[in-house]
A = this chain, B = another copy of it.
Amino acid sequence: MATESATSLRRAHAILLALSSDEAAAKGGLGVIRIAVLTGREKSQVSRTLRTLSELGFVDRDPDTLSYRLGWGLISLSARAGEQRLLEATSPLLVRLVNEVGEGAHLSVLKGKEVLTVLSESPGQALQAVNWVGRMVPAYCTSSGRALLLDHEESELIRLWEEGSWPRPGPNAPADVDDFCARVAHARAEGYVVADEELEAGLVAVAAPIRDERGRISAALDVSGPKFRLEGRTHLVGARIKATSDELSSIDWRSRAASHAAGAPAHLG
């Protein structure tokens, strides 16, 4: 029964992931049959799970097309997810960073060996920013990934990356785990990370870690943009990002979460 329960949750999760895919976004939703194909599950099981997920607000069904989409209920839950206090404190500082540096700035957290963007701010266009939140990129060839791994011992890094291959998406991506560990050590000494064409040709990014009140790295701040605009001033940008990250690290954002939980529903009406 315990296993059955975990299986149900994993099936539900696989369905939600399918509904968060580019295909689902492009089509404005997916039908039961397509979800069954994408998740490799039986149609009848998928159908039953979708019914429960719909009842719980995790998915919404279009009354015309009968296709399913991720539901508004997820927005409700996610408004309380992660470190809300950190998100709130970071939001205005991201705006400031973007104004200072003139490039997009992002807050991310580590999920396994990948980096998840949780907050974005771009110069000018909000649309571009929205599109980025929720995306995952590999940690080993991104500035934010390296910033999130700055405290990891070399042995931990080797253990994390001992399995799997080393794809090199950008021309300067780390060649192997030794190269990667050397770059982490270098960034540790600098206090910030520069990734120069590691994820993609022509792309430069600079990042620094944010620490919680116990000194542990819990998130990273990064600025990224085209090489021709960032080249030659990565030290300057690094210093700005490090200063902003240090400012966020000095906030006791966990214990202050309480002040944001209160409040009567007087705001609407």
- Chain A residues engaging chain B, CB cutoff 8 angstroms: 1-2, 4-13, 16-17, 19-20, 22-28, 45, 48-49, 51-53, 56-58, 60, 64, 69-84, 87-88, 91-92, 104, 106, 108-109, 111, 115-118, 120, 126-128, 130-137, 142-144, 170, 195, 198-200, 203-205, 214, 222, 224, 254-255, 257-258, 260-269
Q: Once the chains are docked, how many angstroms separate the CA of A118 from the CA of B79?
A: 9
Report how many copies the assembly holds: 2
Known: A80-B19, A131-B263, A260-B131. Contact between A75 and B118, CB under 8 A?
yes
Known: A78-B78, A79-B133, A126-B92. Contact between A199 and B5, CB under 8 A?
no
Instruction: Give A218 Cβ to nearest chain B Cβ, in Å.
Output: 10
Instruction: Give A101 Cβ to nearest chain B Cβ, in Å.
Output: 14
Q: What chain B residues lie within 8 Å of A264 (beta carbons)? A: 200
Q: Once the chains are docked, how many angstroms separate the CA of A120 from the CA of B75?
A: 12
Instruction: Give A248 Cβ to nearest chain B Cβ, in Å.
Output: 15
Q: Once the chains are docked, how many angstroms separate the CA of A21 from the CA of B7?
A: 27
Q: What chain B residues lie within 8 Å of A25 (beta carbons)? A: 80, 84, 257-258, 260-261
Q: Once the chains are docked, how many angstroms separate the CA of A108 from the CA of B267?
A: 12
B80 and A75 within 8 A (CB): no
